[in-house]
Structure 1
Amino acid sequence: MYFQKLIFALFLLIFYNFQAQNRAFENTPKKFYTATRIQEAPKIDGILEDNVWKNKPVASNFVMVEPGDGTQIPETHKTNIKLLYTDEAIYIAAYLHENEPEKIVKRFTQRDNIEVNDFFLIDINTYNDGENQTRFIVTSAGAIADGKSIGNSEDYSYNVVWDAAVSQDEKGWYAEIKIPYAALRFPDKEEQLWGIQFARQITHLNETYSWNYIDKSVGKISQHAGLLKGLKNIDPPVRLSLYPYASVSTDYFKKTSETRFSAGMDLKYGINDAFTLDATLIPDFGQAAFDEVELNLGPFEQTFGENRAFFTEGTELFTKGDLFYSRRVGSTPTGFNEAQKDVLENEEIIENPQKTDLLNALKISGRTENSLGIGFFNAITRETHAKYRDTITGEIREKVTEPLSNYNILVLDQQFNKNSSISLINTNVTREDNFRDGNVTGFLFDLYNKSNSFNISGQAKMSNVNKKPESLTGFASTLSFNRTKGNFRYGVTHDFANETYDINDLGVNFTNNYSNFFWMTSYQIFEPTGGFNTFNLQVYGNHQRRYKPDVPVRTGVGTSLFAITSNRFAFGGFTDINSRYKDFFEPRKDGRFVEYNSDILGEVWVSSDYREKFAYDVRVGYKSLFGTNEERVKLKLKPRFRFNNKFNMIYSFNYTNHINRNSFVSIEDEDIIFGNRDMESIENSLQAYYNFNTKQALSLSFRNFWSTASFSDNGFKSLNEDGSLISTTYDNSGDNDPNVNFNIWNLDLSYRWQFAPGSEAILLYRNSIFNQDTLSALSYSESLDYLFARPARHNLSLRIVYYIDYNNVMNIFKT
């Protein structure tokens, strides 16, 4: 019945939106600029003295975006933009005046790292759909950044090849930019009409200005772009780019070394004017950043961010509905844990890989002129084996822990009215032999009324897991209604999942079997008020229930604050109060729960002005359960120091102490054992960067995470059916000892050189050590002694990637 009501409401809203006579912003005037065709391209050197720039139309009259709303840019910072085009590319010149040029913030960074800098920004929407923009940024130091901007979201993992240069004099600074058509996707028609926006950040004034006015109180930023006209008879080029790579690495561990050489290639191919094929052949992710591993004693797996470029770049379509967790591809084999246990008498396990090898992967994505987005993703992983050796005969036995597996995603995303969309997504994992398969289908909608004042969004998702011969089908849904205009806003949400909903073959869901309700109301400002540039106060609440059986789980209310003053000092925090909590996951057994007392928790934080040489972030958190001795204290310190415009360093210290928590220990026959646990952790990390220029940098990344879990010898309890705990005896000696001392150390030192557009060389030294034992009584310094007694793994690698553009190669042959 719930699903039928949801579908009925959905079709009513779609009918209303399509029947609306006026679309959002249709009557709002937009600035437009008419581009000029030229025959001879300017030299991209940042010095705007080429004849082609003289006497060309100017885009000017910028207005404030932050912190104010629409104030005209002062004459002292007059900003003029010119745009030209040839058969190959568009060219942009930016004249960024500054009456105090010595105050221009000009720090050297590498690609996609804007940091705290003056910068010039261009958003180009080649289909003028109000949603999808390609973003190009150049800083006052000459660093570039590019990404995808969809609505109000930004994704700087997207990279294309383009060129920019800057210069500076007593009148200000200047940017000269070349964006080849190969870096864009646009319709094949005689005359283009693109959405375009220019913006400028003046850091020392803490002000941002845009060419076309942006009304922050309504709609999405992408809907406020101006128009670019005059692009005629430009032919989309053959968009074929090759990225061949070669890498060599030497690994030293336990007095043995191994050298590996690999080579492969990534490629991008424009199938037509709208769609692009990305493929990685014989991929090598040996230089991906290390994962921030922690001691995990909870009921859920630890998840990590994606560090592999192929799985972060241009994946906005595939993340629809949160059904794609890319770390599943090439993750731990499904039979890894079973293989650890499947050791026969007189046998030892000699090999059990924790990751599967990726053979190849490809993705096809794009959007048609009618705003239909289509995405297709496919990846194949190699068969993986565990190996056992008979200690008497020496015979080797193998067991398949992950068969040859295929991962597949198909997405259809129809946008309309320049503010709304409906989407269909399917994910599928097929494994050979008798391993489990998974299939998930999701239907999503995100609808705004014509004035962008209200939004209704929702998802309906169906999962099917084939465990051979058992097959389980599950369902989950979300329905939200929100006020999206003005200073006062509010919203309500309902989340539902039945007890068999499971997307963990290619996605990740920690919980199912719930029916939860959420509400919020907020007040925020869009212009400086009372010394604040930003102020957002929220009050919210939730009521969580179990679906089967229908029982209350928890009810809570809270409030949060986020504020930034006029001098860029930021602060905020939150406070939550929750009722008693029935935790159905900590017992690790279906249908059982442990009940925790009601609690109060909160955090406060402050962040100073990053424009200063020294800046800091501080966060303090506290949690207490009423009527118990359970407490949790958290502290995070993150100071940063900029030595000069080339060298900066960021240190982070995290401390957590959670005491007297009743935590799962073991299941003995039918008895679920809990223990009274103290858990303390310290994390130290350091990041340092020395930028020789915007193309070469030396960087250091270090992290040490230590954690101990200590269970009280007389604090063991047995879980009752009603969720309460009763004291019991438990033999915690030998293999039953639940105490843990966990320590991990990672250090990366790298030199990166972008020696040509799209091409780079990376030399990386990596050092790592790991130790885990039951010596939970050790202090932090004592645990470090044990850690350094373990063998360290040393790795040195060199990777070179070279960018080849098909069009340039053909031009060479023609010449």
Structure 2
Amino acid sequence: MPFKKSFLALFLLISLCSYSQEEALPEKRSYTATRITETPEIDGILDEDIWRTIPETSNFVMLEPGDGEAAPASHQTKVKIGYTNEAIYIGAYMFDDDPSTIRRQFAQRDNIPVADAFIVDINTYNDGENQTRFIITAAGTLADAKIQGNSEDVAYNVVWEGQVSIDEDGWFAELRIPYSALRFPEKDQQLWGLQMGREIRSRNESYVWNYIDKSVGKGTHYNGLLKGISNVNPPVRLSLYPYLSGEVDQYDGTTSTAFNAGMDLKYGLSDAFTLDATLVPDFGQTAYDEVELNLGPFEQTFGENRAFFTEGTELFTKGNLFYSRRIGDTPTGFNEVQDQQLENEEIISNPEKTNLLNALKISGRTETGLGIGFFNAITEETKAELRNTETGETRKVVTEPFTNYNIFVLDQQFDQKSSVSVINTNVIREGNFRDGNVSAFLFDVYNNSSSFNFSGEAKMSRVNLPDRNKTGFSSTLAFERTKGNFRYGVRHRFANETFDINDLGVNFTNNYNNFFWETSYRTFKPQGIFNQYRVQVYGNHRRRYQPDVTVGSGIGSSFFGVTRERFAFGGSLEANTKFKDFFEPRKEGRYIQYPESADVGAWVSSDYRKKFAYDIRLNYGQFFENNNDEIRLRVKPRFRFSNHFLLIYSFNYKKENNRDSFVELLPRNIIFGSRDIESVENSLQGTYNFNTRSALNLSFRNFWSAATFADDEFTSLGEEGNLSPFNYVVTEDNDPDANFNIWNLDLSYQWRFAPGSEMILLYRNSIFNLDKQSELNYLNSLENLFQEPARHNLSLRVVYYLDYNTMKNVIKS
């Protein structure tokens, strides 16, 4: 089988290249922290005597746009690190000969604006992969993230302190990072990975403490060492986040109120492992989903807006088997209620979401580099209610039973850059419903010099249905050159026809045997007008696994460049052969064949340091043998009125003509039609920051889309993917035209009144409409939209952070 041959070839490559004798990575810098007996006040002013006694480290070197050049004398950076039994203290001196150029745009926590910044990365296990990032801007905004390789989990949050000050010599930062914000082994002498950086926005430059060779491997491979921290014990890591929330909801003349109380908690089970749990969860103030008109064969997916499912999930997302929106999603039997409707029955209620009862996750990494993760969530039973219109009797139908979702992960890292992982996901539904189980083995291996990377995945799925079971398999194998200006790589992806991970993951397609390749040339130092640029050429060949037939092939190229003035631009060009689409017909084994096509695109992005900036992207696609074409335009201007006020507008337009699209599946025919679709999206994001702890936020989106099928141009799909005329009669019940319009507006006030604690007052306004009036233009459709009842929702949510160690000290005192 093709995937077996690929595994054998990759094994040989690993065996040959793992013994590469190329030179190792450069020697690491080190710094020894000083134990202090007096603690400084965290005010950003480094005037305490204690700072004079701590040795400094300096000599930062350029990361962008150059490659290792020493920082100029006018912009030196010096750092001092001390520690106690409770926390690490960092003093950073960012000298600047012209303080008026220091960028100080305000933002709320975890939102990094165009501002100068100081960054600290701490890897308490010194494994070259996993580290916690702490960022403070010249305006005092704090941000933190979990870093793993090239991925950054910005949803990760811990409680720490930081303040800044500015004078005629530059700006200064003072940080206190409690040990409760870190996980580290319990031993007498600690040896941690350390990297520090500085962003100088006015000069468009960034510097790091330990040199990073951008032409080889990943940035996390270049951490220095933090020594000297000794005889400190990991504290009891117990944090409670109790919350209170209340809301008033008004829709179509009906007003309702709700009150909720609950709690999230974090508990350190050991020096390395943490339990996160949400008890009586409340997701009432999560951001709205960017819903669109979906006429395709696949479900629309959305980003995760619930903090519990985004924070600290780097272990659980390995292998892309975890789509957290499955938890609390539409019940599996939601669309089957109409089929169970008896004569003279009407549907009174059919909930679109299931309720999450509780969820927990345990994760951590041992001193030997073994990461262990356990996740579990439970949703309650969901029922639809039907009423007999003659007798008035009601009955309930279970659309989603009591369900348990579970993930278990083992991730062993070695050589400070490579890993092998095993992951299992499991969904069990009570009663005679569908269950799902998926297991996967993954590896991500670099050779000694980080010049080559080998990665792969093998996944096995098993779905238990009431009447049968099915087992599926999928694999991915890749080889990539990761050193130098010239890069290349090949990849193979395989899945059989029964591979299915959709109980807790997402896979839109299966039954494929696809091959990909790419090669690129990129720069790491300024050349000519460019700070950097990249030219890429890529291609693919796609096949069906059963039966073994060609689906299509394609080739493309792209360019990306950033000038010395921070003006970025690029473009792409793609060409594809005839393409067999096995999913648009909505019937197993059938396909429609689309002709050869091409797509060309270009984009520009201006300098965000200026008050006015913009992003523009334009794409045009064309099928060669028919008059099907598509144009896509995105314009996104932004204006910074002051360091406190930023406004971003986005306009998206899409117009597709004469697309052969699925209409209806009849007993003997698959009906297609010639479809035009036009979409307009307007959105606005505005933030006024009173300071770094409170802000007023506006989020608005209006999306309109109209799909129109040409009259009397319906066709029937043939066995060879061809279309032939068909007399399809359109009635009110089967009219495929659609006019879709949705409006969402959120206005909120956010106040972080204490570390880890916040209050959010949110007003939400939403309107939705879906009908058959596709002949309406955007403005007329918008006018109709405002005839629909609007939902008004006002909610208040207060979260208070309680730390066990702080409470214990208060009680003692």
**Same structural fold, with TM-score higher than 0.5 when normalized by the shorter chain:** yes
Per-residue CA distance 1:185-216 (angstroms, 9 max, x = gap): 00100010001011000000000000111110
- 1:586 and 2:584 are equivalent in the alignment: yes
Instruction: After TM superposition, give the deviation of residue 731 of structure 1 in Å.
Output: 1.2
Structure 2 unaligned runs (5+)? none
- Determine the structure 1 residue equivalent to 2:773: 775
Query: Does the 8 Å contact 1:487/1:524 carry over to 2?
Result: yes
Identity of aligned residues (%): 65
Deviations 1:394-434 (A, max 9, x none): 11110000000000000001111111110000000000111
Aligned equivalent of 2:298: 300
Q: 3-state DSSP class of the match of 1:481? A: strand
**Aligned-residue offset at 1:153:** 1.6
> Which is worse superposed, 253-262 or 11-20?
11-20
Residue pair 1:37, 1:85 contacting (<8 A) in 2 also: yes
Match of 1:797 among 780, 795, 798: 795
Which moved further from structure 2: 53-62 or 539-548? 53-62
Say what the alpha-carbon RMSD is for the aligned residues: 1.3
2:320 maps to what in 1?
A: 322
Q: CA deviation at 1:623?
A: 0.4
User: In structure 1, what is the Cα distance between the partners aligned to 2:603 and 2:76?
Assistant: 37
Matched, 1:218 2:231: no
Q: What is the CA distance between 1:341 and its match in structure 2?
A: 3.3
Determine which of 473, 476, 487 is the counterpart of 2:474.
476
Shift, 1:2, TM fit? 4.5
Residue in structure 2 matched with residue 39 of structure 1 by the alignment:
37
- Tell me which amino acid in the other structure corresponds to 1:138: I
Residues 686 and 701, structure 1, Cα contact 8 Å, conserved in 2: yes
Deviation track 1:167-198 (CA, whole Å, cap 9, x = no partner) reads 00011000000000000000100010001011
The match for 1:151 is 149
Q: 1:67-86 to 2 correspondence within 5 Å? A: 67-86=65-84
Q: Secondary structure at the match of 1:562?
A: strand
2:679 is the counterpart of 1:691: no
Structure 1: which amino acid aligns with 2:535? L
Picking from 486, 490, 493, the partner of 1:492 is: 490
Asked if structure 1 preserves the Cα contact closer than 8 Å seen for 2:20 and 2:449, the reply is no
**Matches of 2:760 and 2:225, distance apart in 1:** 40
Which residue identity does 1:214 align to in structure 2? I
Q: Give the 3-state SS of the residue equivalent to 1:46 in structure 2.
A: coil
Query: For residue 285 of structure 1, what is the amino acid of its counterpart?
Result: F
CA distance in 2, matches of 1:6, 1:410: 27
Alignment partner, residue 406 of structure 2? 408
Q: 1:671-750 residue pairs with structure 2 within 5 A?
A: 671-750=669-748
Please say if residues 458 and 479 of structure 1, whose CA atoms lie closer than 8 Å, have aligned partners that are also in contact. yes
Inter-partner Cα distance in structure 2 for 1:13 and 1:460: 18
Distance 2:71 2:392 in 1: 80
Deviation at 1:523, TM superposition (A): 0.2
Q: Is 1:346 the equivalent of 2:341?
A: no
Within 5 Å, which residues of 2 pair with 1:430-579?
430-579=428-577
Task: Indicate if the aligned counterparts of 1:580 and 1:599 stay in contact, CA closer than 8 A.
Answer: yes
- Aligned to 1:715, what secondary structure does the other structure show? strand
Instruction: Indicate conservation of the 8 Å contact 1:24/1:417, yes or no.
Output: no
In structure 2, distance between residues paired with 1:800 and 1:36: 39
d(CA) in 2 for partners of 1:664, 1:10: 40
Which whole-Å CA distance do the structure 2 matches of 1:467 and 1:24 have between them? 52
The match for 2:51 among 39, 53, 56 is: 53
Q: Specify the alignment match of 2:265 in structure 1.
A: 267
Distance 1:84 1:23 in 2: 35
Question: CA 1:525 to 1:14, structure 2 compared with 1: closer, same or farther past 3 Å?
Answer: closer
| CA-CA distance at 1:9 after TM superposition | 5.5
CA contact (8 A) 2:738 2:770 kept: yes
Question: Which piece of structure 1 moves more, 299-308 or 778-787?
Answer: 778-787
Deviation at 1:670, TM superposition (A): 1.8
The equivalences for 1:213-252 within 5 A come to: 213-252=211-250
For 2:542, give the aligned amino acid.
Q
Deviation per CA, 1:672-701, whole angstroms, max 9, x where unpaired?
Answer: 000000000000000000000000000000
CA distance in 2, matches of 1:596, 1:21: 50
Partner AA of 1:466 in structure 2: N
- The separation in 1 between residues aligned to 2:339 and 2:781, in whole angstroms, is 29
The 8 Å contact of residues 7 and 477 in structure 2, kept in 1 or not, is answered as no
Letter in 1 for 2:612: F
Structure 1 residues 50-105: Cα deviation after superposition (integer angstroms, max 9, x where no partner): 11101321110000000000000011011100000001000000000000100000
Distance in 2 between the 1:702 and 1:370 partners? 48
Work out the CA distance in 1 between the residues paired with 2:788 and 2:679. 20
Question: Are the aligned partners of 1:13 and 1:447 in contact in 2 as well (CA < 8 Å)?
Answer: no
Matched ranges for 1:542-691 at <5 A: 542-691=540-689
Once the 2 structures are TM-superposed, how far is the Cα of residue 337 of structure 1 from its aligned partner? 0.5
Q: Residue 387 of structure 1 corresponds to which residue in structure 2? A: 385
Kindly state the Cα deviation for residue 155 of structure 1 after the two structures are TM-superposed: 1.3
**Partners of 1:263 and 1:282 within 8 A in 2:** yes
What is the DSSP-based 3-state SS (H/G/I as helix, E as strand, rest coil) of the residue aligned with 1:321?
helix
Displacement of 1:469 in angstroms is 2.9
Whether the 8 Å CA contact 2:3–2:494 is kept in 1: the answer is no
Which residue, out of 100, 108, 111, partners 2:109?
111
Any idea what SS the aligned residue of 2:79 has?
strand
TM-score scaled by length of structure 2: 0.99
1:160 maps to a residue whose letter is V
Q: Give the whole-Å Cα distance in 2 for the aligned partners of 1:23 and 1:162.
A: 39
2:194 alignment partner in structure 1: 196
Query: What residue number does 2:752 align with?
Result: 754
Shift of 1:39: 1.2
Alpha-carbon distance between aligned partners in 1 of 2:734 and 2:388, rounded to the nearest angstrom: 27
What is the Cα deviation at residue 628 of structure 1?
A: 0.6
User: Quick check: 1:102 aligned with 2:123?
Assistant: no
Q: Secondary structure in 2 aligned to 1:509? A: coil
Provide the C-alpha distance between the structure 2 equivalents of 1:528 and 1:51, rounded to a whole number of angstroms: 43
Query: 1:121 matched to which residue of 2?
Result: 119
Distance in 2 (CA, whole Å) between partners of 1:377 and 1:14 is: 32
Paired with 2:596 and 2:606, the residues of 1 have a C-alpha distance of 35
Q: CA deviation at 1:342?
A: 2.4
Question: Deviations 1:211-236 (Å, cap 9, x if unpaired)?
Answer: 11111000110111111110010000
Separation in 1 of the partners of 2:206 and 2:43? 25
- Closer/same/farther in 2, CA of residues 566 and 795 from structure 1, 3 Å limit: same
Could you tell me how far 1:340 is from its partner in structure 2? 3.2
SS in structure 1 of the partner of residue 427 of structure 2: strand
Q: Which moved more, 1:513-522 or 1:5-14?
A: 5-14
CA distance in 1, matches of 2:324, 2:759: 26
State how far apart, in whole Å, the 2-side matches of 1:57 and 1:401 are. 65
SS at match of 2:713: coil
Q: Which runs of 5+ in 1 are unaligned?
A: none
Structure 1 match to 2:164? 166
Structure 2 CA distance for aligned equivalents of residues 762 and 244 of structure 1: 14
> How has the CA–CA distance of structure 1 residues 8 and 540 changed in structure 2, closer, same or farther, with 3 Å as cutoff?
closer
